[in-house]
A and B are shown apart, each in its own frame.
Chain A
Amino acid sequence: MKSFDFFEAPSVEIALDSLDVDDLQIRPQGGGTALMLMMKSGVYQPSKLVSLRGIKELRDIRLSQTGELIIGSMTSLSEIEHSELVRSHAPVISDTMKRLANVRVRNIARLGGALAHGDPHMDLPPLLSALGATVITISKNGRRSIEVIDLYKGYYETALKADELIESVCIPNLNNSRCVYLKCTTRSAEDWPALGVALKLKIINNHFIDVHIVFGSIGEVPLEMKQVQDLLEGKHASNDTLDAACELAYSLVEPSGDALGSAEYKKELVKVYLKRALVQAINHEGAVK
């Protein structure tokens, strides 16, 4: 590893000043847990890293006046894990944290980094996509709002511009939706997911309403299962409906095989885990909200 400059930006303004649209060797850094792996393996050699960690205004968790949960991008994953506000607003996020990497990583890794990294094998992108979350970005041209699902453009590719930072993540009021995230690992327990199944839905009079299903780790980007959502929408929450939805998901997904599982195995997992997620939502074991 060649030596490089490490700059700890004291404010967003100075951080933006330190970035250079034309120089990809200069990158912003959150906790750095993912970046360090890329640097150690020689995939990325920076000339300068702009650390955002010390920027206090990016590190808070609050409710907006309209009842949305706003999490600053430099909030650590363990702060999110242990936040009472997060637990009361979106317990599915708190529960997901328990199995996201390990305590050492969660203490260092930041929400903004976890979203901007763009590795398809992550837990938060599919989960926050299903919850309908948006990221608020900031650059010298001002702020913009991007839905998390639209943040991902390809393998390690995001909609973020080189001079743009994630300021915060906004999670809408979940209004008694039932939210589930199931993580399937195939190596050690704290591994990246071989498959992540995120869903948000409501059950009214035993019928599925407002269904959102997003899969992680089966393609280059989080995959929203629109046809499966349509199939479930308004349907009676019966076993037959579930089986039909799972069969449809099975027939639709074309996972890419990777070190975590072959394509055909992941296809099977999709069927099993979608069913389990739906059953969990119906039984709402901690799934309300």
Chain B
Amino acid sequence: MNARIQSQFGEIGRKISRLEAKSKVTGKAKYTHHLKLPGMLYAKVFRSTVAHGRIIKVDVTEAKKVEGVYDVLISVDIMKFIPEPYYGPAFLDQPILAIDKVRYVGEPVAVVLSTDPHIAEYATQFIEAEYEELPAVYDELEAMTSKAIVHDELRPSGTFPDLKHLMGKKNTNIALDYHLKRGDVEQSFKDADFVFEHTFKTQQVMHTPLEPMVSLADVNLNEQHVTIYSATQSPSFVRLEIARLLGWSENQVRVIVPHLGGGFGAKLYIKLEALVTALSMIAGKPVKLSQTMEEQFYTITKHPTTFKIKSAVNKSGKIIGRRCDVWWNGGAYADIGPRVTQKSGFTAAGPYDIENVEIESYALYTNRPPSGALRGFGIPQLVWAYERQIDIIAHELSIDPLEIRRINLLKNGRPQATGTIMKDAALDLVLERLATRMNWSSTHPKRNGSIKSGRGIAIGFKASVAPTTSTALVTINADGSCILSMSSVDMGQGSDTAMAQIVAEVLHLKSENIRVVNPDTDSTPYDMATLGSRSVFHMGNAVKLAAEDAKNKLKLLAKDAGLGEDYAGPFSDIFTKKYGMQAGTLVGFGAYIPSYTPPDKKDGSTTNATPFWMVGATGVELEVDSETGHINILKMINIVDCGNPLNPAIVETQLSGAAIMQVGFSLTEIMKLDNGQVTNASFSDYKIPGFNDIPIAFENEMIDSYQSNGPFGAKGVGESATFGVSPAIANAIQDAVGVSLSELPMTPESIFKAIKNQHNKRAGA
């Protein structure tokens, strides 16, 4: 079956290079880090050294005396301009600078301003802060019942209706509890032939964009206006939130986004923007704050999780019931954590057709650096658990790992755990394609000696976050050239190029000739944010509508100019005929919001959980050095359903990038904490994969598929290749040496210890 749509003008499915590739590789592309404004001050943040404490005193006298220091500011200075300086997408819980309390090591407490960034940094050494230390809580399970309460009172923002009931709640660290109930799980445990219960854990990691966070604000109090230049994934949200903080309207806040050097979810919502705006307001000068790599570890991270999964299984391998308890360690501030908790909660039971499901998902405050969205929005943490457990079950019941997945896999037309009927989710095709590419039906050779070989597979899926809005403008100039204006942020994923291809296909132009305007909220229209693989689908639909709108308006213009609405000559003819010369402009507009039904308050069910499903599977062949615990990944294959890929060359790099990132989260990356202090906040000691860590054979494939409500059949793909990586590796390790791993990262030492424990157990038995 070839479901792939034929592109009428050949622009869809074209493997063109990224539009900005040349300027990036030649160093011509401009990033926020390059930007300097006249009279600009540099800010350096002074951070908390305690994990949880009441602020007794912050003494900035000595720091102010340092030559070259313009000013040193603390929260009271900010509150003179912004009386309620709290922000956050889900909870208004994060102060611009710490007020009364600090809640994690690294929390911003004071700021030095100077025209010299080195002086600003130097002067922070002279700030003295005194705290009354409070008991701290770091573990998500302990946070459920801990006497250490991170926030005296919960402060949900008005944005999400499902958080309203938490307003003003005291003595709790629970920032959201999501419950889903389908069928009768307890009964299924009684009815089943076997019941399996396991607990899996994931660690705290960081996004490590190579361009650290950076923002510059230029407030003009005379005009009551601020221009913010920021490396952000969400310019429209920044505008909204800054306007709210200042009590201004949206047109008093302008957010400009130059090129981004990676984001991965780190640069979402407000990060440094509120702080630089407040500082610029106070100083009356432009203020820039450029983080170091180290400071990013104190700004946003990925949720550590504990996932207890209990499954009722029949002899045949059919799962008849599953209970999932997931605890998300959100750190000191909620950021988007409650959304991660709920949205990923939808799919915690896995891509399987299970009659009885119960899910309890908790977002928890702790005294760690805050957690937010990171490539997968919680899904990789869940897949880690359910795809590990299904292999353990297969092993126990002597069923082939591929077969047990076949037995249980969700089919299109069947209800998923929320009750939403699966549609356009090629779970079966992805799994079967992986089996073929892995040559699964052949027996896998086992090597003798200390080097053992094994193979493993894993499959996961994700519901796109809904409902969110995208809008776009397509402008046709008098010479027929075309400009696309949108607030989607191309942080390296290639969205500018893909969107240009959509415009080019609709208007029969060449993608390379479309000018894409970088986000500037004064001229590019609203977009919810660049997150969760939503752009190709949401913005893609908006861009397509805008291009179609422009096309229709061109027809009307042609008709109006007396050329007839079916005029097929160059667009410029229409403008010349109409206006008598090369003059005029035409604007097409498109807005897109998919339909969505919020989950029922009681049982968490919904008939419309998401506009589209993302599917990703990974297969791994590896060797384990049983004497040292080292693993060597010989082959990794990632297969995804991304609908019809708009640009297969860029999709391929999205897949490889996502998988490599997840290899790091699987094997090497972990933020180490000592009393709340991150002890390895640099690339010296926090190791992301290098070239030599990439699997020897590394293959990626998009299956033949079509998303019926997507633009030209396309849907999101930025995260899909992360889903299966960690469990596929662990499953292959289990296949090779028989040890069952339940915690990330899988370091050589942890594998070695597991092998040794198993050996000791066998010797004991």
Chain A positions near chain B (C-beta within 8 angstroms):
1-3, 37, 40-41, 99, 102, 184, 186-191, 259, 261-262, 265, 268-269, 272-273
Q: Closest residue to A269 on the B side, CB-wise?
A: B628
Contacting pair A188 B752 (CB below 8 A): no
Known: A189-B693, A259-B680, A265-B753. 13 other contacts (CB 8 A): A1-B118, A40-B294, A41-B294, A41-B682, A102-B690, A186-B748, A187-B668, A187-B687, A188-B689, A190-B692, A191-B687, A259-B685, A262-B749
Q: Can you list 17 A-B pairs with a CB-CB distance of less than 8 A? A: A2-B121, A3-B118, A41-B294, A184-B628, A186-B747, A186-B748, A188-B668, A188-B687, A188-B688, A188-B690, A188-B693, A189-B690, A190-B692, A259-B685, A265-B752, A265-B753, A268-B752
* Per-residue contact bits, chain B 726-765, to A (CB 8 Å; 1 contact, 0 not): 0000000000000000000001110011000000000000
- State how many angstroms separate the Cβ of B47 from the closest Cβ of chain A: 13
Q: Closest residue to A102 on the B side, CB-wise?
A: B690
Candidate in B118, B292, B749 with the most chain A CB atoms within 10 angstroms = B749
B627 at the interface (CB under 8 A from A): yes
How far does the alpha carbon of A186 sit from the alpha carbon of B753 in the complex, in Å?
A: 14
How far does the alpha carbon of A3 sit from the alpha carbon of B693 in the complex, in Å?
A: 37
B122 at the interface (CB under 8 A from A): yes
- State how many angstroms separate the Cβ of B500 from the closest Cβ of chain A: 34
- State how many angstroms separate the Cβ of B759 from the closest Cβ of chain A: 12
Given A102, A188, A272, which contacts B628 in the complex, CB threshold below 8 Å?
Answer: A272
Candidate in B121, B294, B627, B680 with the most chain A CB atoms within 10 angstroms = B627
Please give, as numbers and ranges, the residues of chain B lying within 8 Å of A41 by CB-CB distance: 294, 682
How far does the alpha carbon of A268 sit from the alpha carbon of B752 in the complex, in Å?
A: 10
Contacting pair B749 A186 (CB below 8 A): yes
- State how many angstroms separate the Cβ of B415 from the closest Cβ of chain A: 43
Please give, as numbers and ranges, the residues of chain A lying within 8 Å of B682 by CB-CB distance: 37, 40-41
Contacting pair A259 B672 (CB below 8 A): yes
Chain B, range 673-708, C-beta contacts under 8 Å to A: 679-680, 682, 684-685, 687-693
- State how many angstroms separate the Cβ of B697 from the closest Cβ of chain A: 16
Chain B, range 604-630, C-beta contacts under 8 Å to A: 627-628
How far does the alpha carbon of A186 sit from the alpha carbon of B693 in the complex, in Å?
A: 11
How far does the alpha carbon of A99 sit from the alpha carbon of B157 in the complex, in Å?
A: 51
Contacting pair A37 B684 (CB below 8 A): yes
How far does the alpha carbon of A99 sit from the alpha carbon of B690 in the complex, in Å?
A: 12
Q: Closest residue to A272 on the B side, CB-wise?
A: B627
Please give, as numbers and ranges, the residues of chain A lying within 8 Å of B693 by CB-CB distance: 188-189
Chain B, range 291-348, C-beta contacts under 8 Å to A: 292, 294
How far does the alpha carbon of A40 sit from the alpha carbon of B753 in the complex, in Å?
A: 35
Please give, as numbers and ranges, the residues of chain B lying within 8 Å of A265 by CB-CB distance: 749, 752-753
How far does the alpha carbon of A37 sit from the alpha carbon of B627 in the complex, in Å?
A: 33
Please give, as numbers and ranges, the residues of chain A lying within 8 Å of B753 by CB-CB distance: 265
- State how many angstroms separate the Cβ of B599 from the closest Cβ of chain A: 41
How far does the alpha carbon of A189 sit from the alpha carbon of B691 in the complex, in Å?
A: 8
Q: Closest residue to A99 on the B side, CB-wise?
A: B692
- State how many angstroms separate the Cβ of A199 from the closest Cβ of chain B: 18
Q: Closest residue to B686 on the A side, CB-wise?
A: A187
Chain B, range 100-124, C-beta contacts under 8 Å to A: 118, 121-122
How far does the alpha carbon of A2 sit from the alpha carbon of B687 in the complex, in Å?
A: 27
How far does the alpha carbon of A41 sit from the alpha carbon of B684 in the complex, in Å?
A: 10
Q: Closest residue to B756 on the A side, CB-wise?
A: A268
Please give, as numbers and ranges, the residues of chain A lying within 8 Å of B748 by CB-CB distance: 186
Please give, as numbers and ranges, the residues of chain B lying within 8 Å of A3 by CB-CB distance: 118
- State how many angstroms separate the Cβ of B713 from the closest Cβ of chain A: 39
How far does the alpha carbon of A190 sit from the alpha carbon of B679 in the complex, in Å?
A: 20
Contacting pair B690 A2 (CB below 8 A): no
Given A40, A189, A269, which contacts B692 in the complex, CB threshold below 8 Å?
Answer: A189
Contacting pair A2 B118 (CB below 8 A): yes
Q: Closest residue to A262 on the B side, CB-wise?
A: B749
Contacting pair A2 B122 (CB below 8 A): yes
How far does the alpha carbon of A269 sit from the alpha carbon of B629 in the complex, in Å?
A: 10
Q: Closest residue to B694 on the A side, CB-wise?
A: A189
How far does the alpha carbon of A1 sit from the alpha carbon of B680 in the complex, in Å?
A: 19
How far does the alpha carbon of A278 sit from the alpha carbon of B483 in the complex, in Å?
A: 67
- State how many angstroms separate the Cβ of A285 from the closest Cβ of chain B: 16
Q: Closest residue to B292 on the A side, CB-wise?
A: A40
Q: Closest residue to A187 on the B side, CB-wise?
A: B687
How far does the alpha carbon of A265 sit from the alpha carbon of B689 in the complex, in Å?
A: 22
Please give, as numbers and ranges, the residues of chain B lying within 8 Å of A261 by CB-CB distance: 749
How far does the alpha carbon of A187 sit from the alpha carbon of B122 in the complex, in Å?
A: 33
How far does the alpha carbon of A186 sit from the alpha carbon of B684 in the complex, in Å?
A: 13
Q: Closest residue to A188 on the B side, CB-wise?
A: B687
Q: Closest residue to B688 on the A side, CB-wise?
A: A188
How far does the alpha carbon of A189 sit from the alpha carbon of B118 in the complex, in Å?
A: 34
Q: Closest residue to A101 on the B side, CB-wise?
A: B690
Please give, as numbers and ranges, the residues of chain B lying within 8 Å of A187 by CB-CB distance: 668, 687, 747
Please give, as numbers and ranges, the residues of chain B lying within 8 Å of A262 by CB-CB distance: 749
- State how many angstroms separate the Cβ of A146 from the closest Cβ of chain B: 28
